[in-house]
Structure 1
């Protein structure tokens, strides 16, 4: 691949990432959420209660980031912690009723953001987009290379 093509690809990915995050941030702000917190809420809504280490793995972020997000979401009443009887060091994170309602709002917001993002793309392109993006993510996943 020559530099011009590589630059065009890398710039497009960089700009999409920046602008998508900014748009997501603008949409999440009225709900009292910051980028990343919605992913945690959606993961708990999808899978049910889990310990922070599992959340960290599922979200692809570092444990301190999950700790910060869970503290903020607990303070706002959207999640709660429950002790794990078999492991005194671990606690299970679960959605409260407020968190479940918020996750429903986030799902609606996420649908709207996706529709904005894919506007003008052909249906077959849209259908293949998740696989394409997941492959690209795996190609640059530093956790995969570190193992």
Structure 2
């Protein structure tokens, strides 16, 4: 691949990432959320209670980031943390009733953002996007392969 094509690909991915995150932030702000917190809420809504280490792995982020997010969401009453029965050093995180309600609102925002993002694309392209984007993510996921 020549540099011009490589640069076009990298710039497009970079700009999409920046603009998508900024748009998500704007849509999540009225809900009192910052980017990343919605993913935590949606993961708990999908899976149910889990320890913070599992949540960190599921979200693909560092444990200190999950700790900070859980503290903030706990302070607003959307989640609760309890010591894990099998390991008092670990915390089990679960949604509260307000957290479940907020997760429902986040789902609507997330759907709207996805529809806005793919507006004007053919249905076939939209249908294939998750596979393409997941493949791109796997290609650059440094957690799944040794560094060169």
User: How far did 1:88 drift?
Assistant: 1.2
- How high is the TM-score relative to the length of structure 2? 0.97
Q: In structure 1, what is the equivalent of residue 70 of structure 2? A: 70
Q: In structure 1, what is the equivalent of residue 45 of structure 2? A: 45
Alpha-carbon displacement from aligned partner over 1:70-110 (angstroms, at most 9, x marks no partner): 00000000000122222111110000000000000000000
- Would you say how many aligned residue pairs link Structure 1 and Structure 2? 147
User: How far did 1:145 drift?
Assistant: 2.1
The aligned runs of 1:1-147 (5 Å cut-off) are 1-146=1-146
* Inter-partner Cα distance in structure 2 for 1:143 and 1:95: 28
* Inter-partner Cα distance in structure 2 for 1:131 and 1:106: 23
When the two chains are superposed, the root-mean-square deviation of aligned CA atoms in Å is 0.9
- How high is the TM-score relative to the length of structure 1? 0.98
Which runs of 5 or more structure 2 residues have no equivalent in the other structure? Answer: none
- Secondary structure (helix, strand or coil) at the match of 1:61 reads coil
* Inter-partner Cα distance in structure 2 for 1:85 and 1:40: 22
Alpha-carbon displacement from aligned partner over 1:112-146 (angstroms, at most 9, x marks no partner): 00000000100000010000000000000011123
* Inter-partner Cα distance in structure 2 for 1:63 and 1:127: 33
* Inter-partner Cα distance in structure 2 for 1:90 and 1:48: 16
* Inter-partner Cα distance in structure 2 for 1:144 and 1:87: 27
* Inter-partner Cα distance in structure 2 for 1:85 and 1:137: 35
* Inter-partner Cα distance in structure 2 for 1:54 and 1:12: 32
* Inter-partner Cα distance in structure 2 for 1:65 and 1:105: 23
